[in-house]
Every structure is written in structure tokens, then in C-alpha cells.
Amino acid sequence: MTQQHILSGDLLMFAGDPFHAPPKETVLIETDGAVLIENGQIGASGARSALLAAYPQARHHAHPGKLICPGFIDAHVHYPQTAMIASWGKRLIDWLNTYTFPEEMRFDDPAYAAEISARYLDLSAAHGTTTMASYCTVHSASVDAFFGEALKRGQRVVAGKTCMDRNAPEGLRDTAQSGYDDSKALLERWHGTGRLSYAITPRFSPTSTPEQLEAMGALWAEHPDCLMQTHLSEQVDEIAWVRELFPGARDYLDTYEQFGLLGARGLYGHAIHLEPREIDRIAEHGASLVHCPTSNTFIGSGLFDMTGLKARGLSVGLATDTGGGSSFSMLRTMAAAYEIGQLKGTALHAGQLLWLATQGSARSLHLHDKIGALDVGMEADIAVLDLASTPAIAQRYGNAQNQWDRVFPTIMMGDDRAIAEVWIGGVKQVG
């Protein structure tokens, strides 16, 4: 018989989108609650005393005063950039050429790809992240290594081979045909295996010819249940470059749209400098944007308009953008999102930030029926937060006046020390 586990503490629960209704009505903290983990899923939730009485045989993991959350979901990462995170001082294109591309060249070695895959998944789990959508490199070995490591861990991940057939070093270029063929073979090998999902992954328009974008659009049309991930309108000089490369396009988004790369299961990272037409078309298609705040500040890209885009009804996920982002921590990412919100004139509520890092990202990945909440029947990916993990946080916690006052300092100052336990697929990985 499968061992049952009960985690007790304060539960983070969702009753709606906190950007469309008051956060205090849609994001709830249920004190002295508990969840039952059984067969890799949430089997029950409710009051601690009731669950302990109903399941006396379950192993009890008591976390008094701690916050039991859905595991964090990082909607846009580059796991191959793990070793070069926090590389100094470049704008996007220079940064790619100086740091990113040389590091990604190393992933033609399956042993190195396996080493970094394990390292990345260890680091992200230590920070409470249980699911991510990752770009791999142009090498099929990088995809095999990442999916293989995630499969061993029983982890739900999304990933895909990055496709580039121009404006990249020779060792990182494929062709329109080989990009299609390799992506299709990887998709057929991994998509739907265990908890793995494939994402068709043209890096961004400047590194793909129209022929390759057309091939990626054709592949997506053949496999519409897959996600498609790419980058959009990250920096103004990048946008100017796109205009030069695609003189007939109406805007940056059109370089994807005209090749069948705009759709409801599309993920568009950054999306800082959008034109009105682009916002309209993204909204019409129900596509998702991904906010990468530490990356946007680290590389100097600009300020994402969270409240404005959410007011338009757009789906938005949250992401570290490892290694353009400067941290593996979704707590640090939430803090940066708050800071950017302040610079844009809107202070985000702690409940909104936690929703973005869990349910919001799950919705952007079309996985909200599986992960991102502690509801019965959801997969048991869980992070337990210690809300007094350091002396600085603990003294602020001690002076808190309400529940959200106790949570907010951990969002703003927390790191991996705040992660008390992490469960992935019902198995404890950290703590």
C-alpha cells in the first residue's frame, strides 16, 4: 500500500484570479490546515484535526506557522545557462554572443548536458521550484539529458530544442529542415512520457530565417497540443534589428504570426515593448506572456506592464529567465516583479505575486488542471515556506499585524533558506 502523508500548517488556496477580483477574496490563507498526499496527488485537504482523525495511518509532517504552497512554476528558463548565470554587463545581443552562445556550444557533449541538467534541477528544487518551461540548446543531446533527468525525478517539466539557423555561431546553427526533423523526433520521443511536455522552440526571430519559422509553424500545426515558446519585444535595439530582418512585417509579433506561430498555446517571453496591434492579437488568440523581472532589470530591457496587460485579460506567467535572470529563486523573482510594479505605479499584493508564481504560471503553460494549486486531485507538487527563515525576516514577522504582513517579508527578502520542504509528485525532495 502506498504511504500516505499529511502536511499540516497554513494553506495557500485560490478562489480566482487576484488581478480580476480583490486579492483578499481570491487568495486565501487557511490557518491550521492540512493536505493529504496519496499516490502522487492531493487526496484531501481541510482542517488539520479533521485530516489527522480521518487518516490515522498517514505519516504526519507538522509545519506550525509555515505556509504550505503549490510548488513554484517557472514559466521561462534556459537551463543550459546555469553555469553562466550573473555574467556581467552586456546588452542582450552582446550578452548572447559573449556568454550564452559559447556556453551553449558545450551541450553537444551528452555528459556535460547531463551534468548541468542535474545541477539545474537540484538548484531550482532547493528554491521551491517544481515545474519549469526550459529552452534547451540546438543539440538534441541537451533535450534528451534534461528530459531524462526530469523523468528520473518524476518531475513535470516543459522543454524543447532551440532552433536557430542564422545569426549564431556555426556550432549552434541547424537548418530549417534539420530543425524541423530534430524537433519532430524529440517531440515524438518525449511528449507525454511521464510528466514531460514538449514545446516547439524557435529561439527568436533574429536567429531563424523565414524558412525555419515556416517549418516551426508547420510542426506546431501538426502537433497543436504542444506548447510553442519564443521571445518577443525584449529590448528596443532587438526590435529595431527585427525590423531590418523582416521589412515586410507589421511588427515583431507579425514575424511569428505570418508563419503560424501565434496561437492559444503560445508562450512569449518578456513582451515589454508591445505595440497596440500586438496586444490586440495576443488577446484575441488567448496566448500567454511571461514576465521575467530579474532578467529585464539585469540586462536593462525595460519595465513590463503587468497591471495593464492583465487588465486586457491576457494570461501572464512569471519566470526567472535563468541565466539572463540573476537568481534561481522565484521568491526573488516575485520581489523583482513587485519592484517593477512600483516603478510602473502599481503596488502588487503579496497574494497576486504568489498567484503569478504558481497558478498564473500554470495557466500560461496550460497545466492548471494538474499543478499550481492545492485542490483535491491536483498533482502533489508542494513547497513549504518558513516565514521566519532569517533573523531579519523573523523580526519583521514578529511585528506583523495580519496574515499578509507575515508573508510579504519572505517574498521580499527570502531565499532558499525559506524553503522548508519540497515535494515533487508526492515524493519529498528537499527538507
Interatomic CA distance for residues 287 and 331, integer angstroms: 25
pLDDT of residue 299: 86
Beta bridge partners of 77: 134
Q: Are strands 419-424 and 427-430 parallel, antiparallel or unpaired?
A: antiparallel
pLDDT of residue 97: 83
Alpha helices in 127-200 (DSSP H): 140-153, 176-190
Alpha helices in 67-226 (DSSP H): 92-95, 101-104, 110-126, 140-153, 176-190, 210-222
Determine which helix (DSSP H) or strand (DSSP E) holds 301, and give its type and residue range. Answer: none
For residue 399 the three cell numbers come to 511585528
| R_g of the chain computed on alpha carbons | 21
Widest pairwise Cα distance in the chain: 68
Interatomic CA distance for residues 120 and 416, integer angstroms: 14
pLDDT of residue 1: 56
Express each pLDDT in 224-276 by its tens digit.
999 999 999 999 999 999 999 999 999 999 999 999 999 999 999 999 999 99
User: End-to-end alpha-carbon separation of the chain, Å?
Assistant: 24
Cα angle value 107/79/262 (rounded, 5°): 105
Q: Are strands 72-78 and 59-70 parallel, antiparallel or unpaired?
A: unpaired
Topology at the third CATH level for domain 5-71+372-430: Urease, subunit C; domain 1 (2.30.40)
Q: Are strands 227-232 and 5-14 parallel, antiparallel or unpaired?
A: unpaired
Beta-carbon contacts of 296 under 8 Å, excluding residues fewer than 6 positions away, are 234, 270, 272, 302, 303, 304, 340
Topology at the third CATH level for domain 72-364: TIM Barrel (3.20.20)
Interatomic CA distance for residues 329 and 320, integer angstroms: 7
pLDDT of residue 98: 87
Q: Where are the domains of the chain?
A: 5-71+372-430, 72-364
CA atoms within 13 A on the CB side of 359: 20
pLDDT of residue 353: 98
pLDDT of residue 423: 98
Helix (H, G, I), strand (E, B) or coil at 198: strand
Contact 228, 216 (CB under 8 A): yes
10-residue averages of pLDDT along the chain (431 residues) = 91 97 96 97 97 97 98 97 84 81 93 98 98 98 98 98 96 97 98 98 98 98 98 96 98 98 98 98 98 93 97 97 92 98 96 98 98 98 98 96 96 98 97 91
Kindly report whether the peptide bond that precedes residue 266 is cis, defined as omega within 30 degrees of 0. Answer: no
